Amino acid sequence: MAVKDAHSRILKYIKKLDPEIIKLRFEAQKEEMITKIVNIYAELASLDQKIKEVLDAHPETIPTQYFYYFSYGRELWKLKNKYGGLTLFKQINALELKWEAKGLNKKIMEKIRVDIFGITL
């Protein structure tokens, strides 16, 4: 396998920065990008509402922590859409350890994971 030298890489990078090329690329993908993001935003808004309902059912949750639970939920959503099987479970374990270290309640995270995402470890 041939390895590209630095000069070739730089030239390719410069070509990618051509405003006309960028404009054409975005114009070609614009409609599909808008359709995709509209669906994603609707899904994320629904996810936030479900997470809020779980948090509201736990009065011991400090309102200033809601943001962190939303972040946990979005990261979980991202992992579920990216991985599957054993890899997903390993990623979720690492994610929950991270957020537990940041002060989130393990039982609430589990409730979000199981009730909203249907993922049991």
CA separation for the pair 66, 56 (Å, rounded): 9
What pLDDT sits at residue 16?
Answer: 87
Q: What is the mean pLDDT of residues 20-41?
A: 94
* CATH code of the domain occupying 6-117: 1.20.58
Position 1 pLDDT exceeds 80? no
**Contact of 85 with 42, CB cutoff 8 Å:** no
**Contact criterion met (CB below 8 Å) for 112 and 69:** yes
Quote the distance between the C-alpha of residue 84 and its chain's center: 14
pLDDT in tens, 60-108: 999 999 999 999 999 999 999 999 999 999 999 999 999 999 999 999 9
Return mean pLDDT, the chain: 95
Domain boundaries, the chain: 6-117
Strand intervals (E) in 1-121: none
Contact indicator for 117, 76 with CB cutoff of 8 Å: yes
Position 121 scores a pLDDT of: 85
Q: What is the CA radius of gyration of the chain?
A: 20
**pLDDT confidence bin for 2, thresholds 50/70/90:** confident
Name the nearest CA neighbour of 69 among 30, 113, 120. Answer: 113
pTM of the model: 0.80
The secondary structure of residue 1, as a DSSP letter, is -
pLDDT tens profile 95-110: 999 999 999 999 999 9
CA torsion 48→50→51→56, rounded to 10°? 120
The amino acid that residue 81 corresponds to is N
